Amino acid sequence: MTEREWEVARMAAQGLTNQEIGEQLYMSVATVKTHLGRMYHKLDVTNRVQLAIRVLELGG
């Protein structure tokens, strides 16, 4: 996983919206969604709650 994907996943785990993540990382909402989609696949999760749990489990 790339550092950028981790960055997006950590922010999502903190409860930020896609819009808020995009604004803070200077990327489009579509790019945020792309990163999240890749993380869902790589971490074998299907939603933000599962993603947040997995990120925390992995020390995110």
Q: Is the pLDDT of residue 56 over 80?
A: yes
Q: Determine the pLDDT at residue 1.
A: 84
Q: Is the pLDDT of residue 60 over 90?
A: no
The 3-state secondary structure of 19-45, one letter per residue: HHHHHHHCCCHHHHHHHHHHHHHHHCC
pTM of the complete model: 0.89
Average pLDDT along the chain: 95
The average pLDDT across 40-50 equals: 95
Q: Is the pLDDT of residue 59 over 90?
A: no
